[in-house]
Amino acid sequence: MPPRPKKPSRRPSRNRGRFGPPKKSVKDDEEKAVEVEGEISSVLAGTMFRVKLASGHEVLAHISGKMRKRFIRLVVGDKVKMEMSPYDLTKARIVFRLG
C-alpha cells in the first residue's frame, strides 16, 4: 500500500519559525525618548505642569498613564523624571516622581 499524500492543514501555524524576542529595528534606536530630570515650577489645569530643567529651560509636561492610574500626586517643588521626544523639546511626559 503506497503512503497517503498529506492534506494541507486547515489552519496555518502562527508561530512557526518565530521563537525568541522580536527583532529590533534601526528606527527604534533613532526615535528613543530623551530622559531628563527637573523640578515642578507650577501646576496647570488638566494634569499639566510647568517643569524647570537644570539648564534653566521650562517645558510643558503631562503625567504618564501609569502615574495617573496609580493616583500619584505632584506638587510644586517635586523632582521628577521625564521623557522628551527628540523632535519637540518643549513638551515632555512625567514618568517618575523623585520626591
Confidence tier at 65 by pLDDT (50, 70, 90): very high
- State whether residue 65 is helix, strand or coil: helix
Domain 30-97 matching CATH 1.10.3710.10: the answer reads no
CA distance 76 to 95: 16
Delimit the domains of the chain by residue range.
30-97
Q: Which residue has the higher pLDDT, 4 or 93?
A: 93
Hey, what's the cell of 34?
530623551
**How large is the average pLDDT for residues 79-97?**
94
- pLDDT tens figures, 11-27: 666 666 666 776 666 55
- The pLDDT, as a whole number, for residue 49 is 97
pLDDT at 3 over 90: no
Q: What is the dihedral of CA 25, 30, 32, 36, to 10 degrees?
A: 160
Which among 80, 86, 3 is positioned nearest to 37, based on CA atoms?
A: 80
Better-scored residue on pLDDT, 7 or 71: 71
Tens digits of residue pLDDT in 23-64: 666 555 556 889 999 999 999 998 999 999 999 999 999 999
